[in-house]
Amino acid sequence: MKSRNLFVVLILAALAFACNQKPAEQLICGSLKEADFKATIGGKETGLYELKNGELTMAVTNYGGRIVSLLVPGKNGEMADVVLGFPSIDAYLNAKEVFHGALIGRVGNRIAKGKFTLNDVEYTLPINNDPNHLHGGPEGFHNVVWDVKAVNDTSIVLSYLSKDGEMGYPGNLNAEVTYTLTPQNEVKMAYKATTDKSTPVNLTNHAFFNLKGEANGTINDHLLTINADKFTAVDSTLIPFGENVPVEGTPFDFREAKAIGADLALQSENEQLQNGLGYDHNFALNKPVDGEMTLAAIVVEPASGRKMEIFTEEPGIQFYGGNFMDGADTGKYGKTFDYRESFALETQHFPDSPNQPAFPSIILNPGETYSTSSIYRFSVADSQ
């Protein structure tokens, strides 16, 4: 009898242990395992953190401050993971596309030939998008481990000290980013930074979206609206000529909703589409007041009804249509990331701003605080 009772006790203990272990092993409908995100990079520990607000569920890793997963309901309540991501730290480290879901800095977008002059000093940055510097360089903010300052059910605060001279940039920059899931089904991204030496700063997030769900087909049928009368014309290396040109009468006119792919057939005759191999351009947002939080873009996926509205305090937004995806990477559901099956809408200041005097400045000086926010709001579009 004693042995039987002991056996029952052992079974119950084993079951209790297994139940207690489940939350630590599986997150987000069992598709992600916390253990697969535990690593040591540059002497710092990485992890995976889950945020929930009742309808949205988001997973974030402090490796690169990346959004790994974002579950969003459709018109019939069905959930889809609308952000492309990978199942482990190792997969991120070995991915061909290095910016998936990541925080970008010190300077998002391109700096021509990796050079700029500030206070009569010329700075040279590493080239990682020949012939230019892109998204903070090969060891930019996307490729470092951020410190987790605070985390709760709906928000996470990440911080990072970028030391003077890192990737060629001047000054010790203290950066902080807060991701919050709000009661309005928003992903709010709040950025702050201070410096001890004048330096350019342009922070953003590089999530790739498909409102049908990760790797679930083309995004060219998504309906896109961008609140911009002008876009930034670029050369063949995607460096601005220095002016924003009207969208009217061009494939870049998204002032009224249209399918992303509606005008891509014009690529053979449109120089700007040729330069970007499709859409890979900054749009100068219509801003009644500089720095005010305003609507930047709306995306609707007609079949599911999923709708994403983007609001930002930034003056621009970079629209990228998945032109360089080639199936080389496989995501967290075992599907490849293919050509024009994802898009990015990165809130930002304009490309190559340190070298473009006509563009809004991105220089942060000692004693100032860099502060900006962007919001990605999710809902279901009204039936047509």
Binding-site entries for beta-D-galactose:
109-110, 280
Cβ atoms of residues 251 and 266 within 8 Å:
yes
97 is known as an active-site residue: no
> C-alpha dihedral over 294, 72, 335, 347, to 10 degrees?
10
Q: Which amino acid, one-letter code, is at 147?
A: D
Strand order from edge to edge, sheet including 370-380: 147-151, 155-162, 173-181, 186-195, 370-380, 306-312, 294-300, 223-226, 258-259
Residue 260, C-beta contacts closer than 8 angstroms, at least 6 positions apart: 219, 220, 221, 222, 223, 224, 279, 321, 343
Evaluate the CA torsion angle 204, 205, 209, 215 in order and state its sign.
positive
Give binding residues as ranges.
109-110, 280
Identify the helix (H) or strand (E) that includes residue 276.
helix 271-276
346 is known as an active-site residue: yes
Among 206, 222, 281, 349, which one carries the catalytic annotation?
Answer: 206
Tokens matching residue 111: 């700096």
Active site residues: 206, 346
